[in-house]
Amino acid sequence: MQDKDALSTLTWLLDAGADEAMGEEPVNRLKAPMPHPPLEGPEGRARAQARPVGSQFVSAASKFREREQPPSPTPPPSDNDAIGTAQRSAAAASSLADLKAALEAFEGCGLKRGATTTVFADGTPTGGIMFIGEAPGRDEDRAGKPFVGRAGQLLDRMLASIGLSRQTNTYITNVMAWRPPDNRDPTPEEGAMCLPFLRRHIELADPKVIVLLGAVAARHVVGLSEGIMRSRGRWMDYRIGEQTVPLLLTLHPAYLLRQPAHKKLAWRDLQSLAARLESLNLLERRDAVS
């Protein structure tokens, strides 16, 4: 391969989110292992019959899994156990600091093994405005804070355009506390394990308005089944105990980086958010004479 081909392949992989080396030696995962040399005689025939078609691929896949996962002293809990543990541990947290510690101690979600940090939240929880994204990316995984990469910088500019900021009034978290490999969508099982923590997070932060960024957050938090393009701009109700909190669906800033023409739609959603915040006295009226 020419140097420039190798470089462009690397750039492509990086853009796709494959930015971590998993081992010292390169592995060609497309190459099937050498089949066993055929054995002569009855033993050979018996072994050939016992081995199902394609079994060499199964054994290659299980070797891959063995290599990817560091040995753990106790077997990981099954999904049901893990969700139960997540529910109990989240429910026992009586402050945001408790909840952060509980999440850091939780071992039920496989994503944690591939992540560098547990990404909890950033911003001002007392401001009454909570934004929820999908999952940490590479920059967030390194920094241990949500939305610090390019999408986060765009989010900061979007917030600033209506007078919001992490420093003064806005609190930001994600559905998932750990980065999924290659930035893939979290699976329903992974989401189900993180959801008890997120729901408790919302209760403890006690926001007066919630904003969900993108389809994945909308799917996990309010069970949205249709596309985000159809539902963005929609206000819904989110129940926290006895109270109902207004919740807005909007586009994810990473999507807006890929589709800048849709920024105008996000701008409309931001105007709607600003109007709601003003009506709740969470934001100073922009038409007020100073």
List contacts with ligand URA (CB under 6 A).
Answer: 133-137, 140, 146-147, 149, 151-152, 174, 254
> Is the CB of 273 or the CB of 283 nearer to ligand URA?
273
Nearest-CB residue for ligand URA: 133
> Is the CB of 140 or the CB of 156 nearer to ligand URA?
140
Question: Rounded CA gap, 73 and 244, in Å?
Answer: 44
Sign of the CA dihedral with 262 first, then 268, 274, and 276 last: negative
Task: State the minimum distance, in angstroms, from the CB of residue 150 to ligand URA.
Answer: 9
> Is the CB of 117 or the CB of 231 nearer to ligand URA?
117
Task: State the minimum distance, in angstroms, from the CB of residue 143 to ligand URA.
Answer: 9
Q: Which residue in the block uniquely carries the two structure tokens 């020419």? A: 2
> Is the CB of 174 or the CB of 250 nearer to ligand URA?
174
Task: State the minimum distance, in angstroms, from the CB of residue 122 to ligand URA.
Answer: 9
> Is the CB of 110 or the CB of 146 nearer to ligand URA?
146
Task: State the minimum distance, in angstroms, from the CB of residue 41 to ligand URA.
Answer: 60
Task: State the minimum distance, in angstroms, from the CB of residue 79 to ligand URA.
Answer: 23
> Is the CB of 158 or the CB of 283 nearer to ligand URA?
158
Task: State the minimum distance, in angstroms, from the CB of residue 135 to ligand URA.
Answer: 6
